[in-house]
Amino acid sequence: MTTISDAASQLGVSPHTLRYYEKIKLIPPVAKSAAGRRNYSNNDIVHIQFIKRAQRMQFTLDEIKLLLDLDRSNAAPKPPARALVAEKLTAIEENLQELKQLKRDLTQMLDACVQSSESEVCPIIEGLKHAPSKEKSNDQTHN
């Protein structure tokens, strides 16, 4: 059995995160000592490692909960898990294309800046003023 602070340290998360995972039922209730302290089993640690790996793969907590529910269910988890991963992969491909375009745009602005004289208007500022906007309705830059 591992204490919450040792588990948090081992997993690279805060004790608050571990309590939050338990609160939102992402992990099952953790065993507690007679003094009321959480004691994490090896199974608990493996469960949280699964969550952390899934997060590194850009799965949301809701998606991770779905994957965990699929793992615990008696139903065949492959079709819904495959669909979720295919959807995630499509989103990543779209993000990669956007990042490639961003790299081209930034490279072009930097090149223009390097080639301009100090007395000319700043090509970077002008480029940002006149660049076509691709604002999304769910813009997350202000969150």
What CATH code would you report for 2-72? 1.10.1660.10
| Residue with the larger pLDDT of the pair 75 and 101 | 101
Residue 133 has pLDDT above 50, yes or no: yes
DSSP state of 60: -
- What is the tens place of the pLDDT at every residue in 42-98? 999 999 999 999 999 999 999 999 999 888 887 777 888 899 999 999 999 999 999
Residue 130: pLDDT over 90: no
pLDDT score recorded for residue 46: 94
| pLDDT band of 131, cuts 50, 70, 90 | low
Rounded CA gap, 108 and 40, in Å? 52
- Residue 143 pLDDT class (50, 70, 90 cuts): very low
> pTM for the complete prediction?
0.70
Mean of the per-residue pLDDT values of the chain? 87
Residue 44, token pair as written in the block: 């608990």
Q: What is the pLDDT of residue 88?
A: 94
Provide the 10 A C-beta neighbour count for residue 133. Answer: 4
